[in-house]
C-alpha cells in the first residue's frame, strides 16, 4: 500500500505497517503528533526519482517505535533540508531499531532534538552522500545528528560512510546521559570507491558556550575504524569538544574498551575525557597507561581473529556490557571492541 501523507494526532495504541511512504503531488510523511504507544513497522520511506521529500516526523509523542523499516533517497533533489527521521524536543521514549537507512543525497538519516528516552539500536546507516543543488543545502550530511535530549542509548548499530558532514554520529548541545556501546563504524564502502568517512563520533562542538555540552557520556566497547584527515587538519576516529576542559572531570565523557582506528594527537580527546580505560589505538597516540596501540588484526567485518591479541580478554570488566553487538555473552574477561572473539 502506498501513502503520501499520514497524520496520527491524539491517537493511542496504533500499529501501522507494512506501508510505503512516497511523494506524488507533495512531500510525503508520517507524522506522529500528540500521540502515545505508536508502532511504525515495515515502512519503506523514499522520495527516489522526485524533487520532493519523504520522512517520518515525531514532534511531541510518547512511546513511539520505528522498526524493521527502510529509509532511502529521502530528498536527493529537494531544495529544502532533508531528514529521513526528524525528532523534536517534546518527543519521549522513542525507539529506532532494526531499520536500514541508506543512499540519501544531501540529508541526515536521523536528526533533531528529543525530550527524553531515545534508543537507536541494531540499525544500519549506509551512504549519506553529497547532492548537487547548492553548497549550503548539500554541504552537510551526518548519519545521526542530535542537539538536545535526556537519556540517549546508541547500541549495536553499524555506521557506514558519509561525506561533507560533522561525523557518523554527532551529539552536541544539551544531550545528557548518553551511552554509545557495541557499535561498528567503518570508513570505506566498496559501493562508493573514493569516499572515506572522516570521523566516527563527535561529542560537543566548538560553538557558543550557551549551546551547552553533553554531560554523562559513556563511549564503551565500540569498534571505530574511521579517521581520515579533515579539511581543518584533524585526524582521529573520534573527537570531543575542547570546551570540556572547563567542566568538572565527573561530567566529561568516558572512553573504555574501544578500538580506535586513529588518534593522531592527544588534544582534544585525551586531555578532556573523564577517563580512558583499556582502549586500543591502531595508529597514533594512546590516552592512558591502560590503553594500548598497534595492529588489531580484524577480519573484513571488523571482528577479532585469533591474531587479535591486543583485544582478546583484555577489556575492563568494570565498564564492559554483558553482551556484544551480536548478543554473545562477554564473560569475565571481556574483549575490546564491539565483538567478542567467537573462535574459542
Answer yes or no: are the C-beta atoms of 220 and 295 closer than 8 Å: no
Answer yes or no: are the C-beta atoms of 315 and 221 closer than 8 Å: yes
Cell numbers standing for residue 211: 549551546
Residue 344 — very low, low, confident or very high, per pLDDT cuts 50/70/90? low
CB atoms within 10 A of CB 63: 17
Residue 251 sits at φ, ψ, to 5 deg, of -95, 0
Q: What is the mean pLDDT of the chain?
A: 94
Cell numbers standing for residue 61: 509523542
pLDDT recorded at residue 163: 81
Cell numbers standing for residue 271: 586531555
Quick check: bond before 251 cis, omega within 30?
no
**Torsion of the alpha carbons at 136, 132, 104 and 149, rounded to the nearest 10:** 0
Answer yes or no: are the C-beta atoms of 165 and 128 closer than 8 Å: yes
Percent of the chain with pLDDT over 70: 98
DSSP 127: E
Burial of 53 (0-12, 13-18, 19+ CB in 10 A): buried
Cell numbers standing for residue 316: 575492563
CB atoms within 10 A of CB 9: 10
> How far is residue 330's CA from residue 246's CA, in Å, rounded to a whole number?
36
What SS3 state is found at 242? helix
Residues 243-287: tens digit of each pLDDT: 999 899 999 999 999 999 999 999 999 999 999 999 999 999 999
pLDDT recorded at residue 133: 83
CB atoms within 10 A of CB 90: 15
Cell numbers standing for residue 256: 573504555
Residues 2-11: tens digit of each pLDDT: 899 999 999 9
Amino acid at each position: 500500500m502506498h501513502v503520501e501523507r499520514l497524520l496520527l494526532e491524539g491517537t493511542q495504541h496504533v500499529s501501522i505497517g507494512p506501508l510505503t511512504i512516497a511523494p506524488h503531488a507533495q512531500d510525503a510523511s508520517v507524522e506522529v503528533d500528540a500521540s502515545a504507544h505508536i508502532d511504525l513497522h515495515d515502512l519503506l520511506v523514499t522520495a527516489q526519482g522526485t524533487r520532493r521529500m519523504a520522512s517520518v516526523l515525531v514532534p511531541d509523542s510518547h512511546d513511539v517505535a520505528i522498526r524493521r523499516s527502510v529509509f532511502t533517497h529521502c530528498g536527493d533533489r529537494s531544495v529544502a533540508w532533508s531528514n529521513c527521521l526528524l525528532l523534536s524536543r517534546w518527543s519521549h521514549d522513542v525507539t529506532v531499531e532494526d531499520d536500514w537507512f541508506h543512499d540519501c543525497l544531501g540529508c541526515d538519516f536521523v536528526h533533531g532534538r528529543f525530550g527524553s528516552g531515545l534508543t537507536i539500536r541494531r540499525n544500519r546507516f549506509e551512504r549519506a552522500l553529497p547532492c548537487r543543488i547548492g553548497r549550503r543545502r548539500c554541504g552537510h550530511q551526518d548519519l545521526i545528528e542530535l542537539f538536545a535530549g535526556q537519556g540517549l542509548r546508541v547500541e549495536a548499530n553499524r555506521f557506514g560512510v558519509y561525506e561533507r558532514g560533522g561525523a557518523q554520529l554527532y551529539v552536541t548541545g544539551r544531550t545528557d546521559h548518553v551511552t554509545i556501546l557495541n557499535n561498528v563504524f567503518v570508513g570505506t564502502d566498496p559501493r562508493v570507491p573514493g569516499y572515506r568517512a572522516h570521523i566516527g563520533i563527535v561529542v560537543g562542538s566548538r560553538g557558543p558556550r550557551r549551546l551547552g555540552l553533553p554531560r554523562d557520556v559513556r563511549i564503551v566497547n565500540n569498534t571505530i575504524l574511521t579517521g581520515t584527515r579533515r579539511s581543518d587538519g584533524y585526524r582521529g576516529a573520534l573527537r570531543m569538544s575542547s570546551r570540556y576542559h572547563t567542566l568538572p572531570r565527573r561530567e566529561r565523557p568516558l572512553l573504555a574498551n574501544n578500538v580506535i582506528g586513529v588518534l593522531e594527537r592527544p588534544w582534544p580527546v585525551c586531555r578532556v575525557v573523564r577517563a580512558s580505560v583499556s582502549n586500543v589505538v591502531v595508529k597514533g597516540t594512546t590516552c592512558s597507561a591502560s590503553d594500548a596501540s598497534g595492529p588489531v588484526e580484524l577480519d573484513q567485518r571488523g571482528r577479532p581473529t585469533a591474531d587479535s591479541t591486543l583485544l582478546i580478554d583484555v577489556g575492563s570488566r568494570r565498564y564492559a556490557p554483558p553482551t556484544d553487538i551480536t548478543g554473545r555473552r562477554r564473560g569475565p574477561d571481556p574483549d575490546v571492541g564491539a565483538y567478542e572473539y567467537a573462535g574459542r
